[in-house]
Each structure stands twice: as C-alpha cells, then as structure tokens.
Structure 1
C-alpha cells in the first residue's frame, strides 16, 4: 500500500486541550512516525558522508588518472566544499521561503546529477566542475535536515534526535565509507575495470541510490512551524495530525485533522532573508557558534581528506591506509553516540567547551606518540571520538539559535562557515605536513581546538528550552 504526500486538510476536530505548537509537539512525543522521519533524513546524510570522503579515499587513483599532484587533488576537495557552501546558502533560502521538504528533494537530485558527471569526466577541469555540482547538491542536505527535524519533535527529545542524524553521517557514514572504498577499490577493483575505471563506477554507485531517497522523502510531513509562520493554519494542523497519528499508515490516512493550533499561535511576522541573520542577536550567535564551527569542521574535513595521504606517506599501502582510516572512524561512531546521549542531558556550551579541550589533548597525543600501528589506530580513534562529539553538538546547537523565519538560513550560515574552513584548512595543513610531517598537522589542529573553546564561551545556552523561547518568538496575539 503506497503512501501519499498530499497536504490537503480534511475535517477539523475540537481544539486540542493545550494550545500552542510547542505544547502540541510535546503531547505528540516520539513514536513510529518520528522514527520514519529520522530514517528518511539519515538516509540522505549517509550518502553525504560517503561523497565527502570520496576524494581523499580515491586520491591516488585520481592523481594517476588525471596526472595531477597533491595541490590539484586538494583543489578538488576545495571546489566540492565551496559548492557545499553555495548549496547550503541556496538550500537554506529555499527551505525558509518555499518549505523544508522542497529543499531536501532538490538537494539530492542535484547531487545525483553531479555524481554522474563526475563518473563521465574526461579531464581534470570537467571533474572539478562536476564536484562543484555535487557540493551544491549536498550542501543544504545537512542543515535543512537539522532545521526540519528540530521543528518536528518535542523539546525534550530535540537534542538527542538532532544528534542522531550525525550517527548516520559522521558515525556510521564515516566507517562505512572507508570500508566501501576499500572494497570497491580493492577486491572489487578488478571487476570494475581496474584502477583506470573503478573510480568512475564508484561515483555511479554513490549517485544512483540517492534517487530512491528522493522518492520516499515525499512522505515527509512539512514542518508545522514553517507552515504556521506562513499563516497556513489548516496545513499546519494536518502536518501535526500526521505526526501524531502514531502509525506509519497515518501518514497516508491521518483521519480527521486535529486542531492543535489556531490563529492565535501564529508567530509575529519577521522577514525571511539573509539580512536578518546578520542583525542584532542573530549576528552575535552567528559569530560565536560560527567561529566554533570553523575550528571544528575545518579540523574534521582536513583529517578525513588527508588521513589516507598521511598514512601512505608512512609507507602503508592504499588499501591498508583506507582500512586504518575506517578503524579510526569507529571513534567517530562512538563520539556521535556520546553526543546523542549528552545532547538530551547536558548544556550545549559546557559540553562543546569540554570536548574541545579533550580534543586538543588527543591531537597533541597523536602528534607525539602515534609511532606504531597500534598507537596510530588507538590514538586516531580517540581523536575521532572527540572530533565527532564536537561536530555533532555544534550541529545540534545551530538550528536552535534562530527564529523559524530564518532557521534554515541561519543554520546554513553557521555550518557554511565550517564549510569554508573545510575548503581552506587543508592547504595550511599541507604546509605543516611538508615542514613537520604528521605531527605538524595535528599540532595545527590542537591550536584550532584551543581557539574553539574561546569561541564557544560566547554562544547562548539552548538546552531544554522551546525554540520559540530561545529565538524570542511570540504569538501575534500576545505580542
């Protein structure tokens, strides 16, 4: 039996017992429908993680195929990240103007197109252009996903469920990605045509399944907060009714629409534009949490991109380096799981600052003591644990900072700042690698984490607070 994505409201029941959108979501709680919503979001983020790691994993093959060096390979990563920044900004705008669901579907379709062009690239310039397109498609995936999930769930569940998204992306995704690349570029490489063509088929394999995700995402309920901010009361109530149906079948036949919210719950009208993100309180929040994202995401992308290259420089084969990187990323999975636990129980600011301090210590330990395979893997896993704990907590924090009218755009800016860091920081990392080897790279990352502690100190605390309280939104009737 197929589902339907129709948002056409049916009959309306008596008013709910407790008015207000936040109260309605608190009563709905967490059930099977919310599990489906999270699964649909996690699926897209899983492919995001694989694509993010693809250039580093296939680096040696791309260098041979196109006759390029480390600088040109790094530029591929940079162009992808810049495309991601464009995608985040465009996706955030579309999400806040036309709806979260629309933006999510467009993201993956653009990503699929770019991946297929990458597979057919005949020269380095075509590959660069295709990776930019891939970046655009992937850019808004994570931030728009964060925005819609933050708006669909109860306050008490929000932190843990937002962190769950990074279990798929940064945790399972990072482990599976390097395992996937080790498999298709190793044992299956011959079946895929050897080193000359296996990387092309890898891009195809990554692109095609995303179409299935787009198909099933038509079942996602639109954010009731977005609909309410646009004055679309009936559609907001239908979305809440679908969320509160308690069964997957309820997404298709939710029954009579429950009147969870009324005109009195419409928030005060605010402008939906990027200019609003850079005004007053919003600007202060962008500066603080954006600076923290620069340090955290920049460190993560640098290591994910350079780790196979760093290991090959130490004499390990490409297959071994990919396998070792996969093992290190077991720490990422545990870090994302730890963030999922802490996000529902601990303040954002304290958790981020503590994780940054411990991440700094673990980076220094890696630089000083990772001299054997055992220590390399152990210290690498510890470092990745704190890296993913940090990134996950920052991803939970970012959509909580802004009002509904600019939530996706604000989260896109904060995470986009991290995107820029991902494009820029591999270059100084290569510089430090050339003059000091692997220890030089980790010394740079340790310094970044020290600066992260300072930046996070100025971010607002959002733990346990309804989004409307954090953003200062009030209903029009009570304004």
Structure 2
C-alpha cells in the first residue's frame, strides 16, 4: 500500500462542483431504494399474510429477510470494495437490488419469495456500505460532513415513493415489486459513468489512473487547478485486508463505539417504523389517514437532515449525534404516552425529525473513523452489526406490544436511542476536520 497524505491536501483544495453533486445524487439513489424496500415490505406483509395464510412467525421472518440480506451484503461488499475498488461494487450492488426485486414479483410461494427478498437485501447492504465510501472519498474535508448527511437525506424519498406506489398499486403486490425494480435499473446504468475514487487509486499506487481521474473531475467541475503528484509515493506497511484489523489495538475502541451506535439506531428505527403502519391501523385510522400520516413522518425528516447537516460542521459530529439520539428517545417514549391524533402526530413527527437527523450524522461520522484500506470494511462492520439489531427489533417490538402495551414497546425502543447516546459519550471521539488517511 502507499501513503495518501499528499492526496488529502489536493482533495481539500478542490472546489465542489457538478461532479460532486452528480455523485451525491447517484449515491443517494441507493439510500432511497433501501428505504423504499423497508416500506414496501411493511405495506405488502398484511396482503401476503392473508393471501398465503402466513402465521405471525412466518410473516416476521419474511419481513426480516431483506434485513438479513443487508447484514450479509454489508460485510461482503465492504470486503470486496476495499480489496478490488469502489467503482465495480458501486455498479453491481444496485444492479443486484434491481434484478432480485423484479424477480420477487414472480415468486410462486413463500420459500422462493423469502430467498429473493434475502438476495435483494444483499444488494442493498452493499449500497449503504459502498456508496458511503464512494462519496466520502471524493468530498473535501470541509464539506464532507454536510455532504454525508445529505446523502442519507435521500432516505425519505424512498419512504414517500413506497407510500405513493402502495397507494396506487396495492393490493397487487406483485406489480408493486415489479415497478419498484425499474428505477434502480436506470440508476445502475448511470453508475457506469462514475470514476474510481482518488483515495483508492492512491492507496494502490496507480498514479497514472489517479492523475487521469483527478483531471476528469476538474474538467467536469469546470474548475482548473494546479496540483502535483509524487513520482513515487511513500510506501506503507501492507494491511491485512481482513476484518480482524478493525479489532487491533489502533482501531478497537472506534470499532466498538461505532458498532454500539449503529445497534442503537437500527434497533430503535426498525422497531418503530416497520410497525408504524400497523400501529395506525390498529388504532382504527382509515387507509387514507394511514397513508397521510406515514407521508407526514417522511416529510419532516428533510428538515431533520438539513439541521443535522448544518450542526455536524458547526458543533461537530459527536455533539450532534448526542443531541439527536437523546431527543429521538424522548419523543419515541412520548408517542406511546399520548392518545389524541394531533399529539400522536406531533410526537412521532418529532421523533422522525431527530432520528433521521441522527442517521445522517452517523453517515458523516463513520467513514471518518477508518483509513482508506479499511473504510468500506469499517462501514460494513458498522452497518452489518446494526442490521443484527434491525432483524430482531421488529419481532421484539411485536412481542412487547402483544403481551404488554405500545408504551412498553416504545420505552424499550426509545431507550435504545438513549443508550446509544450514552455509549457514544463514553467511547466516541470527534472527527470533525480530520484529513483522510
């Protein structure tokens, strides 16, 4: 491997331009499709339960199939991306999602649909991991925090799109899966025109390719800039290309801190949002009211992201996360304590505002904890470990609601956000302004 210290200075002097904005949009599409998957399953599960006479356990496993796939995909694509590059993985992950989402429309039975949903998740897990590495390694450090939060701000677009498609297409769940596959196929084609990241090329010592890539980016941005590359970059000790390096002395504390943070966010988020349509339905709201309320919780996420995008660069990643996680927990619990429609909408909207703002901040924070040769694996470790919590969270929430009450379920789910803030306060470090290695 080769040192990338010289490249950090070049990248930090590069102005933001059209290439960076195009990359943000193309990367963000992967986040939108992941969000759409979560809510497509939430809307179609009741129909599948009645059509195929599924018991609660079978329905729960089917709902978790794509999450299990995301767990596998996070680890798998994180390794592939660090070993062989971001660009190929960037193209293949979204194609994986598109193909298996489309095939889900033709599933003849429960077992086949479960397998196809799992394979869909493998692609989506890669999107969250690889897209983060791809974008973060192209953005100057002074803009990186804001851009990484804006990357996650594409998430509510998926929720809105899934809600709209479900409203117009359901009860034909097969058509819903088929329609959901086509936008991703278009994005997969667009990703062919994105370049390998400069940091990956520099780490590999591919200097001719690095110069061509930097020149192409500057041409697209229409911002000429003088720079010089070393004829022979400094050699560094070869990494292991193994996840085990994350648990060595240098990265052990960061790896633990980020895993606990992702577990807390995944447990709280998926436990609440997977059940949200069912919660509103169980309270007697009509289909129109249900879809309207889900849309409201999506729309309020945008100012949550924009406020977090401002704060991560103003007060830092850690302080922003501490604030937003704590308030997510408070308003999740408040949602379980109120009973009139207006109060429920206000509390769940505020929870959605702060929870998704925290998600944006964690995508700014995570890639900054790891060097280039471990960045995608670090993201894969964080996202994959978090998905373990996401798989079990909806089932735990369902049991708590059935045996106790909605309040008890939200006490546990909201408490997860607060515990995440506590663990970050104790173990986490600030990364604002740090140059990439």
TM-score range, shorter chain: over 0.9
Residue aligning to 2:362: 394
Residue aligning to 2:116: 130
Residue aligning to 2:348: 380
Picking from 363, 377, 384, the partner of 1:409 is 377
Residues 308 and 318 of structure 1 are in contact (CA less than 8 Å); yes or no, is this contact kept in structure 2? no
Give 1:374 deviation, angstroms. Answer: 1.6
User: What secondary structure is seen at the aligned counterpart in 1 of 2:430?
Assistant: coil
Residue aligning to 1:432: 400
Larger of the two Rg values belongs to structure:
1
Residues 181 and 322 of structure 1 are in contact (CA less than 8 Å); yes or no, is this contact kept in structure 2? no
Residues 120 and 200 of structure 1 are in contact (CA less than 8 Å); yes or no, is this contact kept in structure 2? yes
Residues 265 and 416 of structure 2 are in contact (CA less than 8 Å); yes or no, is this contact kept in structure 1? yes
Alpha-carbon separation, structure 1, partners of 2:430 and 2:401: 37
Alpha-carbon separation, structure 2, partners of 1:257 and 1:182: 53
Alpha-carbon separation, structure 2, partners of 1:265 and 1:239: 20
User: What secondary structure is seen at the aligned counterpart in 2 of 1:263?
Assistant: coil
Alpha-carbon separation, structure 1, partners of 2:285 and 2:80: 45
Choose 412-421 or 434-443, whichever is displaced more: 434-443
Give 1:316 deviation, angstroms. Answer: 2.0
- 1:20-71 CA-partner distances (Å, limit 9, x unpaired): 1111112212011111111111122222211122111222112122111333
Alpha-carbon separation, structure 1, partners of 2:160 and 2:230: 43
Residues 24 and 151 of structure 2 are in contact (CA less than 8 Å); yes or no, is this contact kept in structure 1? yes
Structure 2 stretches lacking a partner, 5+ long: none
Alpha-carbon separation, structure 1, partners of 2:229 and 2:161: 41
Alpha-carbon separation, structure 2, partners of 1:145 and 1:240: 19
Alpha-carbon separation, structure 2, partners of 1:298 and 1:179: 26
Residue aligning to 2:415: 447
Residue aligning to 1:181: 166
Residues 174 and 332 of structure 1 are in contact (CA less than 8 Å); yes or no, is this contact kept in structure 2? no
Residue aligning to 1:363: 332
Q: CA RMSD in A?
A: 2.0
Question: Kindly tell me: are residues 262 and 202 of structure 1, through their superposed partners in 2, closer, same or farther at Cα, counting changes over 3 Å?
Answer: farther
- 1:309-338 CA-partner distances (Å, limit 9, x unpaired): 111111123443233112122222221222
Structure 1 stretches lacking a partner, 5+ long: 1-18, 186-194, 469-479
Aligned runs of 1:68-79 on 2, under 5 Å? 68-79=54-65
Picking from 182, 196, 202, the partner of 2:176 is 202
Residues 367 and 439 of structure 1 are in contact (CA less than 8 Å); yes or no, is this contact kept in structure 2? yes
Aligned runs of 1:156-235 on 2, under 5 Å? 156-169=142-155, 171-185=156-170, 195=171, 198-235=172-209
Question: Kindly tell me: are residues 259 and 219 of structure 1, through their superposed partners in 2, closer, same or farther at Cα, counting changes over 3 Å?
Answer: farther
Aligned runs of 1:292-307 on 2, under 5 Å? 292-307=261-276
Residues 271 and 393 of structure 2 are in contact (CA less than 8 Å); yes or no, is this contact kept in structure 1? yes
Residue aligning to 1:423: 391
TM-score calculated relative to the size of structure 1: 0.86
Question: Kindly tell me: are residues 422 and 262 of structure 1, through their superposed partners in 2, closer, same or farther at Cα, counting changes over 3 Å?
Answer: farther
Aligned runs of 1:302-381 on 2, under 5 Å? 302-369=271-338, 371-381=339-349
Residues 102 and 180 of structure 2 are in contact (CA less than 8 Å); yes or no, is this contact kept in structure 1? no
Residues 175 and 327 of structure 1 are in contact (CA less than 8 Å); yes or no, is this contact kept in structure 2? no
Residues 205 and 233 of structure 2 are in contact (CA less than 8 Å); yes or no, is this contact kept in structure 1? no
Residues 237 and 261 of structure 1 are in contact (CA less than 8 Å); yes or no, is this contact kept in structure 2? no
User: What secondary structure is seen at the aligned counterpart in 2 of 1:20?
Assistant: helix
User: What secondary structure is seen at the aligned counterpart in 2 of 1:153?
Assistant: coil
User: What secondary structure is seen at the aligned counterpart in 2 of 1:467?
Assistant: coil
Residue aligning to 1:31: 17
Q: Kindly tell me the number of residue pairs found equivalent between the two proteins.
A: 432
Alpha-carbon separation, structure 1, partners of 2:230 and 2:300: 43
Give 1:347 deviation, angstroms. Answer: 1.5
Give 1:261 deviation, angstroms. Answer: 4.9
Question: Kindly tell me: are residues 328 and 279 of structure 1, through their superposed partners in 2, closer, same or farther at Cα, counting changes over 3 Å?
Answer: same
User: What secondary structure is seen at the aligned counterpart in 2 of 1:58?
Assistant: helix
Give 1:271 deviation, angstroms. Answer: 2.5
Give 1:258 deviation, angstroms. Answer: 6.2
Give 1:257 deviation, angstroms. Answer: 11
Residue aligning to 1:283: 252
- 1:210-264 CA-partner distances (Å, limit 9, x unpaired): 111111111111111111111111111222222222448x9xxx9x996445433
